Amino acid sequence: MILQTTRFGSVDVDEQRLIEFPAGLLGFSQARRFALLQPDERGVFFWLQSAENPDLAFVVTDPSLWSDEFAAPLRPEQSEEIGLADVADAQTFVIVNRRGGALTANMQGPLVISAVTRRGVQVVLAERRWSTRHELVRLEGAQVASA
Amino acid sequence: MLVLSRHIDESIMIGDDVELTIVDIRGDKVRIGINAPSSVAVHRKEVYEAIRTENEQAARFRGSIDGMPLPKARETPRATRGIRLTADQRPPRRESA
């Protein structure tokens, strides 16, 4: 299927590879289906592009690349909701933002996706240790300027 | 909104299986005990609000993610694979927000 996107133009994606968030994301409950777009070889930052709203896309990254200690515990009902039978099938992403000369990640609201069912959920972590604006890395001058 | 008055150690039932108990009252702070099945998510409202706000702000991310700095201690790359964008589909490196 062809996705119309504001940022990337028309993108041809295999419908089987879309990721569904049955409950949507917080604040975006209407956007259920997304494509994970990979802009480069490095596979560190991805765009989570809405299949329904051309203008809606989030930058996401795998938190395990940035922290050894981060974990997103799921309640059994959440595992069931996304059809996650085996924790090894879970893929976690966090939404990235650019703020004050740094890249930050929303570690308090991670996205957990079953790689098997391709369904996901945005988890709310009760732990205060992880914030919605966890600094990942400082940006260099040119990268800040492009913000 | 339904408003009920309760003393310390008194409870309110919501449905058959959610019980709120007033544990303590000190000044303008109330401590509430919650008994609920694990299927019911219980969080402070401001946590939800913070995540919602951050989602909304992150949705306004503009420009390119090409050339963003990599993690310092990069482990073996995971087998995460997205749908590859071609060069002409990537947004320009410089774009005003």
Q: Complex ipTM, two decimals?
A: 0.89
User: Which of B61, B64, B78, B88 is the best substitution to test chain A (most A C-beta atoms within 10 A)?
Assistant: B61
Task: Point out the residue among A38, A97, A146 whose CB comes nearest to the CB of B58.
Answer: A97
Q: Are A122 and A25 in contact (CB under 8 A)?
A: yes
Task: Point out the residue among A8, A28, A77 whose CB comes nearest to the CB of B90.
Answer: A8
Size of interface A-B (CB pairs under 8 A): 143
Contact B83 A132 (CB under 8 A): no
* Residue A138 predicted with pLDDT over 80: yes
Q: What does the pLDDT read at residue A27?
A: 92
Q: What does the pLDDT read at residue A142?
A: 58
Residues of A in contact with B57 (CB under 8 A): 97
* Minimum distance, in Å, between the CA of residue B69 and any CA atom of chain A: 7
User: Which of A29, A65, A144 is the best substitution to test chain B (most B C-beta atoms within 10 A)?
Assistant: A65
| pLDDT tens sequence across A1-56 | 999 999 999 999 999 999 999 999 999 988 999 999 988 888 899 999 999 999 99
pTM of the model: 0.83
Name the pLDDT band for B90 (thresholds 50, 70, 90): low
Q: How far apart are CA B61 and CA A139, in angstroms?
A: 15
Cα-Cα end-to-end distance for chain B: 41
Q: What does the pLDDT read at residue B41?
A: 81
Contact B65 A39 (CB under 8 A): yes
Which phi and psi angles does A5 have, rounded to 5°?
Answer: -130, 145
Q: What does the pLDDT read at residue A143?
A: 63
| pLDDT tens sequence across A80-106 | 999 999 888 999 999 999 988 899 999
For A38, the 3-state DSSP assignment is: strand
* Residue A122 predicted with pLDDT over 60: yes
Name the pLDDT band for B96 (thresholds 50, 70, 90): very low
Q: Higher model confidence: residue A147 or residue B37?
A: B37
Burial group, residue B39, by CB count within 10 angstroms (0-12, 13-18, 19+): exposed
Average pLDDT, chain B: 84
Contact A76 B38 (CB under 8 A): yes
